Structure 1
Amino acid sequence: MPVLFTPKRLLIAALAVALAVAAVAGQSFRLFERAWFTVTESGNADRWRGRSLWLPDYRVTIEAQPVEGIERNLSALAYDAQRNTLFSVTNAGPTRLVELSLDGKLLRSIELRGFQDPEAIEYIAPGRYVITDERYQRLVAVQLDEDTTVIDADDGEQLGIGIGTNGNKGFEGLAYDTKGKRLLVAKERDPVRIYEVTGFPRLADDEGPASVNVSQDLDRDKGLFVRDLSSLDFDEKTGHLLVLSDESHLLLELNADGEPISSLSLLKGSQGLEASIPQAEGVATDRDGTLYVISEPNLFYRFEKIDR
């Protein structure tokens, strides 16, 4: 006997399809976890505000300022504690390492040779940095000083990590824990992962034979309700990790146990932003806790904590 599709049955079917689509979208975009975190975040303010960065207290003070001398493809950000400046890379035509002042002015540009797709840079020690080459999933430790004009990947210490290779969905972010001598490496997506590397790069005070170890914290990574990872930054004072997501328009602060405790939205109207940050690619904090973000094509942002 044929089934009669009455208006009531069609409405029920349409609602069922809509609910199924909403459930799939919610899981894909991690909307449920993010919504729950938003509800609980303010309730944790008294617990965490005095012993964390506490991102809700930040407000933008420099917004969408173009970096003069860079037209496009500005990617990644690192703070050099010795020089009190910022470093970034460009990953196309030509590839360069650039030094910026804390107000987003271009100080110098250094040619990168032998890097196909540099996506992240991290300060390790005076004159010592690590750069990721995303497509090859390799890390390259390089040296530079005041007179450096060219950096060649072949001259640097290299480490290849071919874990879950996936085209250009590779290593997008770096952070360094000086006390723990851990290099934290962000895999962009499919799935998002944060690898912990010890033993690389070799430092001047390292003794004995080289021993490199790569590990994961799957419980922490599964708790990241973001669609991708664009950049990382490690705060030495608190031992907390900042995780930047371009697609989720979000910056997360993770405590020492890897749990999200605070966030900063990159959308219009949040943190004083007059417009959404279009494509956030790098984050860094300085010794005073001031927060910096860069966005493609060449936009510079500074966030400062307001007094409470």
Structure 2
Amino acid sequence: MRRFLRLPLIALSVGLLVALLLGVAGQQYRLFERGWFNLKTWWQPAEQSIGLDRYQVVIEARPIEGLDEDISALTFDPDRNSLFTVTNKNPELIELSLEGRILRRVPLTGFGDPEAVEYVGRDSYVITDEREQRLIRVRLTADTPFLDAKDAEQLTLGIGLNGNKGFEGLAYDQKGKRLFVAKERDPMLIYEVHGFPHDNPEQPYAVHVVQDRKRDSKLFVRDLSSLQFDERSGHLLALSDESQLVLELDVTGKPLASLSLRKGFQGLSQSVPQAEGIAMDDAGTLYLVSEPNLFYVFRKSAD
């Protein structure tokens, strides 16, 4: 009799353990928040969203030929009508065509661990040094043979130093002169840097760093790999590799819409393996790079 009584107790214990593990996993991976968000956006899509759900892949997993090192980050240069990315081993700044082909390679000296690059003005870019949390503003002309960090304007923030979980993404608001800086995780944060880069020599050099913990707490992704600021809407796009998601935030930091990078969504035949950078051109086309050096393009379908 005791043997038969033990069976329900064992089953109950196993059931409680499984429920506990599912609850921990759900909390760790933010599955409950993501599920609730998906339900809300399906039931009542945000009218002010840029329409990420209508984007479809038009170039999928095209290998970027000619690279031995993995690339990280992506930014669109409207003057050159091209894209830029960086490598952190044997550091280089690399210009890509809008079809994902290499146009130019510029060696980087003294950058340590470059992880992100962002266009901030004609011939002007900011590159991050992830481990040292440095922001390095460089200028690139048609005949620049290499870029040396010691010759560049620099800003070191040194906030919550955490090895290789440092500054992973950049985005720039041209009108508001704000540089958004993403800390990958532990904790996952987005800083707003005002006053860097410094463009007006007649004004004193003053840097102000803003942190919005309320906004960051709404991010139900596991990490941050890259950022993109949309000048037309004022919205911020946050790319998460681990969550395989692009999340759109409005001007208050509220999540509005998302673009899934998983197989079967947005026309993808396979999941994006390790998304590292996102950029948007003037027409609203989205470009994405993923390790191992794969190139993607997404365009919005007609309403």
Do these two structures clear the TM 0.5 threshold for a shared fold by scoring above it?
Answer: yes
2:190 aligned residue? 194
SS at match of 1:200: coil
1:235-292 Cα shifts (integer Å, max 9, x gaps):
0000000000000000001111101111110011110001111100000000000000
| CA distance in 2: counterparts of 1:154 and 1:8, whole angstroms | 70
Q: Which of 108, 120, 140 matches 1:124?
A: 120
SS at match of 1:228: coil
Instruction: Tell me the residue number matched to 1:240.
Output: 235
Q: Is 1:273 the counterpart of 2:268 in the alignment?
A: yes
**What is the aligned partner in structure 1 of residue 171 from structure 2?**
175
Report SS of the residue matched to 1:41.
helix
Structure 1 counterpart of 2:39: 39
Call closer, same or farther: CA 1:209–1:5 in 2, change over 3 Å: farther
How far off is 1:213 after superposition?
A: 0.7
Output aligned runs, 1:149-168, within 5 Å.
149-168=145-164
Counterpart residue number, 1:107: 103
Contact 1:71/1:297 (CA < 8 Å) preserved in 2?
Answer: no
AA in 2 matched with 1:7: L
Measure, in 1, the Cα distance between the counterparts of 2:124 and 2:244: 31
**Unaligned residue ranges in structure 1 (runs of 5+):** none
Three-state SS of the structure 2 residue aligned to 1:252 is strand
Pick the aligned partner of 2:88 from 87, 91, 106: 91
Contact kept, 8 Å, 1:230 with 1:281, in 2: the verdict is yes
Aligned counterparts of 1:304 and 1:221: Cα–Cα separation in 2: 28
| Separation of aligned partners in 2, 1:26 and 1:5 | 32
**DSSP 3-state at the match of 2:44:** helix
Do the aligned partners of 1:200 and 1:212 also contact (CA within 8 Å) in 2? yes
Instruction: Please tell me the residue identity of whatever aligns with 1:123.
Output: Y
Amino acid at match of 1:11: A
The one of 272, 277, 283 aligned to 2:278 = 283
1:39 offset after TM fit, Å?
A: 0.3
State how far apart, in whole Å, the 2-side matches of 1:255 and 1:84 are. Answer: 26
Alpha-carbon offset, residue 7 of structure 1? 0.5
List alignment gaps of at least 5 residues for structure 2.
none
Q: CA deviation at 1:157?
A: 0.7
What does the per-residue CA deviation read over 1:222-241, in whole Å, with 9 as the maximum and x for residues that have no partner? 00000000000000000000
Deviation at 1:20, TM superposition (A): 1.0
CA deviations on 1:184-238 (whole Å, 9 max, x unpaired) are 00000011100010000111x4642111011111011000000000000000000
Task: Kindly indicate whether residue 212 of structure 2 is the aligned counterpart of residue 230 of structure 1.
Answer: no
Distance 1:301 1:222 in 2: 29
Q: Distance in 1 between matches of 2:127 and 2:69?
A: 19
Q: 1:117: how far off?
A: 0.9
Query: Whole-Å Cα distance in 1 between the matches of residues 152 and 201 of structure 2?
Result: 17
Aligned residue number for residue 8 of structure 1: 8
Corresponding pairs, count:
302
Comparing 70-79 with 186-195, which one deviates more in the overlay? 70-79
The answer to whether residue 17 in structure 2 is matched with residue 20 in structure 1 is no
Q: Which residue of 2 aligns with 1:64?
A: 61
Q: Which moved more, 1:35-44 or 1:170-179?
A: 35-44
Provide the rounded CA distance (Å) in 2 between the counterparts of 1:149 and 1:31. 47
Contact 1:44–1:261 (Cα < 8 Å) also in 2: no
Q: Secondary structure at the match of 2:32?
A: helix
- Per the TM alignment, residue 42 of structure 1 is displaced from its structure 2 partner at its CA by 2.2
CA–CA separation in structure 1 for the residues paired with 2:217 and 2:269:
32
Normalising by structure 1, we get a TM-score of: 0.95
Quote the residue 1:251 is aligned against: 246
Partner SS state of residue 19, structure 2: helix
- Cα deviations across residues 161-194 of structure 1 (Å, max 9, x unaligned)? 1111111000000000111110000000011100
Contact 1:75 1:119 in 2 (8 A): yes
Residue 262 of structure 1 pairs with residue 288 of structure 2: no
| Secondary structure of 1:26's aligned partner | helix
CA drift of 1:44 comes to 3.3
What TM-score do you get using the length of structure 2 for normalisation? Answer: 0.97
The runs of at least 4 consecutive aligned structure 1 residues that moved more than 6 Å come to none
Structure 2 CA distance for aligned equivalents of residues 264 and 68 of structure 1: 27
Report the CA distance between 1:129 and its aligned residue.
Answer: 0.5
